[in-house]
Amino acid sequence: MALIQITEPGQAVDPHQRKRAAGIDLGTTNSLIASVREGQTETLQDVVGNSLLPSVVHYGADKNGASEITVGAAALAKATTDPMNTIASAKRLLGRGLAELAGTEAAEQYAFVPVQEGMVQLQTAAGSTSPVQVSAEILKTLAQRGSETLGGELDGVVITVPAYFDDAQRQATRDAAELAGLQVLRLLNEPTAAAVAYGLDSGDEGLTVIYDLGGGTFDVSLLRLSRGVFEVLATGGNASLGGDDFDHRLMSLMRAKLTPDLVLSPSLNRRLLMQARFCKETLSTEATVNFELTEGDLHLTGSISRAEFEDAIADLVDETIRSARRVMRDAGLGEEAVDQVVLVGGATRVPLVRAKVESYFGKAPLTHIDPDRVVALGAAMQADVLVGNKPDAEMLLLDVLPLSLGLETMGGLVEKLIARNTPIPVQRAQEFTTFKDGQSAMLIHVMQGEREQVADCRSLARFELKGIPAMVAGAAKIRVVFQVDADGLLSVSASETGTGVTAAVVVKPSYGLSDQEITQMLKSSFAHAQEDAEARMLLEARLDAEQLTEALRSALAQDGEALLSDEVRLGLFQGIDQLAQVAGGSDVALIKAETEKLSQASDPFAALRMDQEVRRALAGHTLDDVLPVESS
């Protein structure tokens, strides 16, 4: 008799085979990928041991005009020399139009393509690009890290988003993931991901506030944790407030100290911004920090105290506390009801932030999980469950809708169907009617926001319900149904109850990408896959050559004369020049061969330097000092 192996939906056929799942924290400043491996949740590192990937993409062109895209630390290194083509903090641009960015730092920092409607487009040396495409490049790099570490393509990922992201920003995040070739199991709110990491790690139950202040966004959420159930009671925040704003405040302070009338070039401006970020981080542990700015004959120095920095950002921190107060009010609770407060995001390392949070809630916040890693760790735990690796796991995430959803009604008003902080997934319906006699069609205009007028809320979608029977005004009954899934994404349907005529739309916000645009981008990526792979190999070969030549030049400057003959030193310098010349070309095999040749030629020098360091370390010691003492 033949036996049929039966498995649960979503699980591997082999019960011992684990699917490859990962959690991705797509951050404003840095991004991470994490996974559950052998029962332990950990962030995945790159080849040099870094977990954090700077959320920076550089768009360049080689001497033949072909585009070159670099991501992460290599891109960040180009920020001061080629600032207009180095895109950072793209998360703050997702789902945003030119009008929304007017007057912001981003409007001065980048060259935008003039478009009337839709998401902003950035002009670069490699052509125009969108924040979705920038985010996709970051996700591709993280996905590759995950595939290499876990030994195969990822079966599914959970990507985190700020709780206060609206529908357009969430859809843009999904578009970026699709463009990167990822199977998204769920979009998970960042505060909820942090709660998963803390709740499962410590077993705590009760009311928890997640205060999440990242590089570009701020969220505060109140959750009830109980026996594997994470219920979000209320959420609030600001999708345009974060550590980047601290950097810009500090940068303005530094400019005033240097010379207020100084006109900064784009390169100098970006360098000063990076100095400001360094100063911010240093002031978390030091009372004062010195800084300097040099370009050509210009050399300026100054110092900033922690007190000056705190004065400059005090109103921003106070705004986060006001958001926390609103969340507690929405939940109908006082701050004394909170059992614990969790800090998430790198900007929570600022002492003023921690002091203000502790003062408001009356208790010291929890920080024992790295605030940079906690969101990715929680996302990885959820991914491990959703992909089917833990079929018996008891984990239920009850998130809430961050902003109200409704329809435009006559007079430009908004009728709210689903209020903010409603648990999701959710479905709500309401009946409307016609305004004019004989009206046979109705325009359904879907809105999101808390204001009462259409002009003050965000337009998500428009669609028409046609075929309504001609009746007197008010006689037709139009039933409109809003359905929000677990990702916070919306679908809307409308039907005339008498005839059953219906129309529906899965909301693709006007600032997201259309299906046709995504399809075209995916086709383009497939068509240029070989070209992109070759370009990557060339870039990696050039980077290896550059690292070797720089390291060897430094070593020769320090110990070359003392350890090598003139003839050998000359040979190594000639090898460096030869490799530098070859690296400027496009022959990958030749670059790799010359790199290997120079590496082998410099091995004896490396051995001599190692011997020298050993002799220095042993100077003044006897063998008895070094050798272990045998026990009797």
442-454 residue pLDDT tens: 888 888 887 777 8
In the predicted structure, residue 300 carries a pLDDT above the cut 90? no
Give the pLDDT score at 139.
97
Task: Identify the helix (H) or strand (E) that includes residue 115.
Answer: none
The domain segmentation of the chain, as residue ranges, is 21-241+319-397, 401-512, 529-618
Of 82, 155, 166, 212, which is the active-site residue?
212
Active-site annotation holds for 91: yes
Q: Which residue has the higher pLDDT, 399 or 204?
A: 399
Q: Which of these, 107, 357, 70, 122, lies nearest to 218 by C-alpha position?
A: 357
Beta bridge partner(s), residue 592: none
d(CA 415, CA 447): 9
CB atoms closer than 10 angstroms to residue 14 = 9
d(CA 248, CA 27): 18
Give the pLDDT score at 12.
44
Q: What burial class does residue 592 get, using C-beta atoms within 10 Å of its C-beta: 0-12 exposed, 13-18 middle, 19+ buried?
A: middle
Determine the average pLDDT of the residues in 55-60. 93
Tokens of 218: 């701020």
Of 25, 46, 166, 408, which is the active-site residue?
25
Least confidently predicted of 60-64, 174-178, 473-477: 60-64
Q: Which residue has the higher pLDDT, 102 or 31?
A: 31
Percentage, residues of the chain above pLDDT 90: 31
Q: Which residue has the higher pLDDT, 309 or 566?
A: 309
d(CA 295, CA 302): 15
Tokens of 122: 């950035």
Give the pLDDT score at 5.
38
Give the pLDDT score at 615.
79
Q: Look at residue 610 and give its three-state secondary structure.
A: helix
* CATH class held by domain 529-618: mainly alpha
Give the pLDDT score at 310.
95
Architecture of domain 21-241+319-397: 2-Layer Sandwich (3.30)
In the predicted structure, residue 432 carries a pLDDT above the cut 60? yes
Give the pLDDT score at 3.
38
Give the pLDDT score at 545.
87
In the predicted structure, residue 577 carries a pLDDT above the cut 50? yes
* pLDDT range class, residue 2, cuts 50, 70, 90: very low
Least confidently predicted of 10-14, 184-188, 192-196: 10-14
Active-site annotation holds for 25: yes
Give the pLDDT score at 133.
93
d(CA 194, CA 377): 8
Select, from the ranges 263-267, 271-275, 466-470, the one with the highest average predicted confidence (pLDDT). 271-275
Give the pLDDT score at 632.
44
Task: Identify the helix (H) or strand (E) that includes residue 354.
Answer: helix 351-361
Tokens of 295: 């370009």
Say if CB 492 and CB 481 are below 8 A apart: yes
Quick: pLDDT tens for 482-535.
888 877 778 888 888 878 888 776 666 555 555 555 556 556 666 666 766 676
Of 155, 178, 190, 408, which is the active-site residue?
190
In the predicted structure, residue 469 carries a pLDDT above the cut 70? yes
Q: Which residue has the higher pLDDT, 158 or 430?
A: 158
* pLDDT range class, residue 6, cuts 50, 70, 90: very low
Of 19, 46, 91, 508, which is the active-site residue?
91
Architecture of domain 401-512: Sandwich (2.60)
In the predicted structure, residue 315 carries a pLDDT above the cut 80? yes
